[in-house]
Structure 1
Amino acid sequence: MNKYLIVRFSSFGDIAQAMPCAVIIRQQDPDADIHWLTRKDFYDFVKSLPCIDRVWGLERLHGIKGLISLISDLKKENYTHIYDAHSNLRSFIVCSVLRLNFLKVNIIRRSKNRLRRLLLFWFRKNYFPSPFRGAISYKNPLKKWFSKIDFPPPIELAVETAPLSLPQDFILSSAIVIAPSATWELKRWPLEYWSQLVSSSPGYNFILLAGKDDVECDKIAEDNKKNVLNLRGKLSWVQSAKIISLAKTIISGDTGVMHLADIMGKNTIALIGPTAFGHPTRATSKVIETKVYCRPCTKDGRGRCINAKYKKCLRDISPQMVTNQLKAMQK
């Protein structure tokens, strides 16, 4: 029996996009023992993927000592295959030590294509696939293990038992999930646009998903108290996944919420601005974007806007454009 280890520590969106890889491994090698190494705060989220047999959680606050201790435990597992889906220093250390321990282990790695990134962001020469679909980039390295692989059908997570506390009269199956925030401000659709979108759609009930620190998102709910349920900072990753799985449509920028909705096959509206690697994969996801000479200009939203009109690529996506797409999806 083959034993696989997938290494992806974070983030929520990247883990979501890498999840189909575990499904592919299970399809190609049904008797395999599949493990996943992630950050401790994503442990329950990864564990909700049914095809994963064991999850290893790295507590980042424990630093190098915690990493050494975890590697010591991993050395006992006799892995035959390791997929480094993170390609950072920690994953390199893990894979290097395990390679010394298991001389015949088959290790593959998802390249970050640093040279191509340099050419794109410094010299405006784009040699990446256009559009760049992150989930596909995670899948491609598996071709070194399996001769023929197809992208799997929508992923179902075991989140049905996750507790939710919603108003009794709230119908989740007809709700529209919105995710107004993002880790980096540069890739956030303007807050006032979100308010306009919701206020111009009184016939829909919206659920607002955001992190506990995204207090600016409260204004959307305050301006639209009748049709917005504000769950900012109230849900775990698993509870958020349950909300996404049950909702009718998801609207988001380049965020983990959007990428999870995409790989779950949900009706998704993706608002893509300056980021180079944020496009969804499935046909159920519809992208709204504008042609601006300077995009893409960032890998994940870090950096500064170089356009004379700040965030023009996102500001040119009007609330009416999103409303029209939302209405089209409800037919």
Structure 2
Amino acid sequence: MQSNSHHKILIIRFSSFGDITQCLSVIDKLKEKFKDCDIDWATRQEFKELISHHPNLTNVICLDRKSGLKGLFKMAFLIREQNYTHIYDAHNNFRSNLILTVAAFFKKMTILKRPTYRWKRFLLFKLRINKYKQPFSGQRDLLEPLLAWGINSESPNPPQVFYSRDHELQAKEKLKSVPETYITMAPSAAFFLKRWPKAYWKQLIEHCKDDFFVLLGGPDDQFIEDIIKDFPGRTLNLAGKCSLSENIPIIKGSKMLISNDTGLMHIAEQLGHPCVALMGPAPFGFPSRSTTKILQLDLKCRPCSKHGQGPCVNSKYHQCLVDILPEQVARLVIHGIN
């Protein structure tokens, strides 16, 4: 295929926050290969703002989760009308396959799907046989399928996540009571077993007496109030108070991010920003850049589940994160991740 001819390309990735953030690297890799191209993205409505500010993206096509099958067919026919030359299905699930079936019917286009490797997952989680390339890397897994189009799997240079001027101003307003130097924390995660113990976040703040901490998360992360209540004047809880894109300049302006295996960790990675990643039971969200310091334990039971949902089978419950001590993280805060 000719890399200097015009192409119209669609990326399909509906969710999640972390996976979409990692998948943003695909845009620049496509642009490097197909210089004169338009790149669109199909996703869920709630993730539009995370994607739409990328300078090499042309358009975002959104799916409302509440629209059901009718909305899915509406999106499929809209995509069909766009006459894409290439579609990269970076999700490869029922919804994306239905869309491809409709959009590609009697159409001439090149379709590429990200493999799901279900047989590898079965071997890993049921038989403890690991056939995945090591070390685990979420970005590499999203970029490697592009080899079929002559695109290498090296991550493009950061930043790969962007925000608007309005998001920057809104972030500054939320930080108006915060000193110029601060550290961001992301104590939450989609599943409990992916969370560093709540008491450890408190101990970390106690160890780092000269630092101010801004805590980020979602509206359901009420437990964060328990972390900060003993540290008035040294903490700010912004969990549930920021949009996805407002989190980006807040993390960018910090000294570093300390995070569980969650979407905010991938924001820091795609910014090329210093981050301490506390990696527990799940294998597929591992960061790739040298700006992220991974803390993990080599346990026979790891990884135990695809998303970190468990169950934990270790005789010492939650050992993969319980045995990463606050003192270890505090040393990285005080002396730097390098």
Q: Distance in 2 between matches of 1:133 and 1:330?
A: 19
- Which residue is 2:192 aligned to? 185
Matching residue within 1, 24, 27 for 2:29: 24
Q: Distance in 1 between matches of 2:285 and 2:74?
A: 34
1:135 lines up with 2:143 in the alignment: no
| C-alpha displacement of 1:322 | 0.6
Residue deviations 1:281-317, cap 9 Å, x none? 1011101111222111111111310011110010000
- Which residue is 1:294 aligned to? 301
1:318 lines up with 2:317 in the alignment: no
Give SS of 1:96's match. helix
Q: Distance in 2 between matches of 1:276 and 1:67?
A: 30
Partner AA of 2:176 in structure 1:
Q
- Which residue is 1:70 aligned to? 75
Cα 1:154–1:167 change in 2 (3 A) is: closer
1:92 lines up with 2:97 in the alignment: yes
- Which residue is 1:49 aligned to? 54
Matching residue within 124, 130, 142 for 1:126: 130
- Which residue is 1:229 aligned to? 236
Residue deviations 1:23-78, cap 9 Å, x none? 11112222100000010000111102221100011000010011111112111100
Instruction: Please give the residue correspondences for 1:109-258 in structure 2 after superposition, counting only pairs within 5 Å.
Output: 109-148=113-152, 150-156=154-160, 157-162=162-167, 163-164=170-171, 165-172=173-180, 174-258=181-265
Q: Distance in 1 between matches of 2:290 and 2:296?
A: 16
Long gaps (5+) in structure 1: none
Q: Distance in 1 between matches of 2:242 and 2:11?
A: 26
Q: Distance in 1 between matches of 2:228 and 2:320?
A: 25
Comparing 321-330 with 287-296, greater Cα deviation is found at: 321-330
What stretches of structure 1 move > 4 A for 4+ residues in a row?
Answer: none
Q: Distance in 2 between matches of 1:131 and 1:272?
A: 13
| C-alpha displacement of 1:18 | 0.4
1:8 lines up with 2:21 in the alignment: no
Residue deviations 1:81-135, cap 9 Å, x none? 0000011110111112212142x21111111210000000000101112221001
Give SS of 1:5's match. strand
Partner AA of 1:63 in structure 2:
G
- Which residue is 2:3 aligned to? none
| C-alpha displacement of 1:160 | 3.5
| C-alpha displacement of 1:146 | 2.0
Long gaps (5+) in structure 2: 1-5
Q: Distance in 2 between matches of 1:49 and 1:232?
A: 25
| C-alpha displacement of 1:155 | 1.8
Q: Distance in 2 between matches of 1:323 and 1:267?
A: 14
Q: Distance in 2 between matches of 1:224 and 1:121?
A: 41
8 A Cα contact 1:50 1:158, kept in partner: no
Q: Distance in 2 between matches of 1:182 and 1:188?
A: 6
Give SS of 1:223's match. coil
1:285 lines up with 2:292 in the alignment: yes
- Which residue is 2:268 aligned to? 261
Cα 1:211–1:158 change in 2 (3 A) is: closer
Give SS of 2:294's match. strand
Query: RMSD value over aligned CA atoms?
Result: 1.5
Residue deviations 1:232-274, cap 9 Å, x none? 1001111112212222201111100001211211101000111
Partner AA of 1:215 in structure 2:
Q
Q: Distance in 1 between matches of 2:154 and 2:302?
A: 30
Partner AA of 2:125 in structure 1:
F
Q: Distance in 2 between matches of 1:29 and 1:293?
A: 44
Q: Distance in 2 between matches of 1:147 and 1:274?
A: 31
Q: Distance in 1 between matches of 2:121 and 2:143?
A: 20
Residue identity over aligned pairs, in percent, reads: 38
8 A Cα contact 1:178 1:209, kept in partner: yes
Cα 1:147–1:69 change in 2 (3 A) is: closer
Give SS of 1:178's match. strand
- Which residue is 1:304 aligned to? 311
